[in-house]
Homo-oligomer: A and B are copies of this chain.
Amino acid sequence: MFEVAEIGHKLSKKQFDELTPQLHTRLLEAQFKLQKTRHSIVIIISGVEGAGKGEVVNRLNEWLDSRGIATNAFWDETNDQTLRPDYWRFWRALPARGNIGILFGSWYTRPIVKKVFGEIDAAEFERQLKNICEFERMLADDGVIIIKLWFHMSKEAAVKRLAKEATLRKAAPETQKYLEQYDAFLPVCEQALRETEQSSSPWHIIEATNKKYRDATAAEIILNTFLQHLDAEQQHQESQHKETHFLPTQPTVLDHVNLDLSLTKKAYSTALNLAQNKLNTLSWEARKQRKSIVAVFEGWDASGKGSAIRRVTQAIDARLYKVISTAAPTDEEAAQHYLWRFWRHIPLAGYVTIYDRSWYGRVLVERVEKFAKDREWHRAYAEINHFEEQLYEHGIILCKFWIHISPEEQLRRFEERAKVPWKKHKITQEDWRNREKWHDYKTAIDDMVVHTSTQHAPWTLVPGNDKKYARINILNTLNQAIEKSLDSSSN
């Protein structure tokens, strides 16, 4: 989930200076328009220690009109607050219609800190997260616009910044203590974000290493949320708002996949043999232990999904696996919730189901091609996480692969296919059309990884320019996941 915010997003001073005047103006305009509506706005500023949340708050106060904005910090609990129910202090800080409340620390802070320091157990933590969902939904139902910003930095970057600030004596007293717990905080924060993602109050994860990028992105997100609600207000219906972008295109997680990785034929042949033998043994052992395996294959057109899947199925006894190719839904499937057709193929204990394309179609092709409405595909992140959580809780081993190739490599493969008679059928006009939407898909994939790469169901981004490397990568990942999940004592 946080991997998307560790890839070096940045703005140069020049870029920043160029875009801020316009961003600033547009923000103010939108703020003034919103003041006349029944909406109030809650902006939650949260994230890892050292990410400069205070600086962001200052910047927002500078860029927005200060009338009708109140900033509330929730880090120091007064006596007055603990003597009343938890949420009393948040109710007090809620802005009136037309106004903006910036919450520096929020209803997330205490549950997360308590969980990290072991003061509450897993069940209580989950209960508190669900209470947050109910609270936010109640506010959203009442017209409150909730903007949740999470500022992330890698541990290295955070330590480095802290060291710098310590010499400047700018660090807050708790910072050091929390930073020491960085690794403990991360999974807890991930769970908090995942379980409180709602289409009416989505999370935005912002890389905070570069301060200019951080502030400009926060402002751009806030502006777009404002515009979206103003648009909906005018139309008296669902927003058709097209996002406005001020920032230059930034790298995505896919740009960080090293596409130069490759294997020689010989190395491949040896590795394949080893990996397939292992997978065969493991799949029988999984059957014995009644552990199911679900493997999801997604990737660009011509990325080699089919041939990678064949390397997997070659290794598994035919009685044990099923491959589900996801095409357009049948009549029967279209008459149901989109998840229905995937639920029906969930394997019996001990068996393997391989999905060649999957439920992720909802947030990829259905999003890009506008088959699903904005609120539909956005809601799908939470629905998918909830679905995968149920698989995980049932003990199912879940692996998700995105096979990545470069656009150049795709073009090479398309042209090859067009030339070779027995490959011609594999390439259609649609493939060429999809290629034109490469950028839209990239955005969708990035969002997908942010929202659905979770601890118990992580995405594996497979470097696919070299098919041999990709196949071995996939087999090894599968083997590791199965091995980790099997009860080794019974071997």
Flag if A141 contacts B393 (CB, 8 Å).
no
Instruction: Collect the chain B residues with CB atoms within 8 Å of residue A349's CB.
Output: 83-84
Q: Does A91 contact B (CB under 8 A)?
A: yes
Give A136-170 interface residues, CB cut-off 8 Å to B: 138-139, 141-142, 144
Give A353-410 interface residues, CB cut-off 8 Å to B: 379, 382-383, 386, 390-391, 393-394, 396
Flag if A346 contacts B124 (CB, 8 Å).
no
Instruction: Collect the chain B residues with CB atoms within 8 Å of residue A131's CB.
Output: 386
Flag if B383 contacts A138 (CB, 8 Å).
yes
Q: Closest residue of chain B to A90, judged by CB?
A: B343
Question: Which of A85, A130, A347 has most chain B Cβ within 10 Å?
Answer: A85
Q: Does A86 contact B (CB under 8 A)?
A: yes
Instruction: Collect the chain B residues with CB atoms within 8 Å of residue A386's CB.
Output: 131, 134-135, 138
Q: In whole angstroms, how far apart are the Cα atoms of A123 and B127 in the complex?
A: 8
Q: Closest residue of chain B to A129, judged by CB?
A: B130
Q: In whole angstroms, how far apart are the Cα atoms of A340 and B139 in the complex?
A: 11
Q: Does A92 contact B (CB under 8 A)?
A: yes
Q: Does A344 contact B (CB under 8 A)?
A: yes
* Cβ contact of A127, chosen from B126, B337, B344, B383, cutoff 8 A: B126
Q: A335-B96, A335-B97, A340-B94 are in contact. Are A141 and B379 (CB under 8 A)?
A: yes
Write the nearest CB–CB distance from A262 to chain B, whole angstroms. Answer: 39
Q: Closest residue of chain B to A87, judged by CB?
A: B390
Q: Does A212 contact B (CB under 8 A)?
A: no
Instruction: Collect the chain B residues with CB atoms within 8 Å of residue A436's CB.
Output: none
Q: In whole angstroms, how far apart are the Cα atoms of A96 and B94 in the complex?
A: 43
* Cβ contact of A348, chosen from B84, B124, B379, cutoff 8 A: B84
Size class of the contact patch on chain A: 35 or more
Q: Does A88 contact B (CB under 8 A)?
A: yes
Q: Closest residue of chain B to A123, judged by CB?
A: B123
Q: Does A332 contact B (CB under 8 A)?
A: yes
Mark A106-127 against chain B: 1 for CB-CB distance below 8 A, else 0. Answer: 0000000000000001011011
* Cβ contact of A336, chosen from B97, B124, B390, cutoff 8 A: B97
Q: Does A80 contact B (CB under 8 A)?
A: yes
Q: Does A442 contact B (CB under 8 A)?
A: no
Flag if A86 contacts B335 (CB, 8 Å).
no
Flag if A94 contacts B336 (CB, 8 Å).
yes
Q: Closest residue of chain B to A199, judged by CB?
A: B141
Q: In whole angstroms, how far apart are the Cα atoms of A83 and B391 in the complex?
A: 12
New contact pairs (20) apart from A123-B124, A139-B337, CB-CB < 8 Å: A40-B336, A80-B348, A83-B290, A83-B348, A84-B346, A85-B391, A87-B343, A88-B346, A92-B344, A96-B332, A96-B335, A98-B335, A123-B126, A127-B127, A127-B130, A134-B382, A134-B386, A141-B379, A142-B337, A142-B338
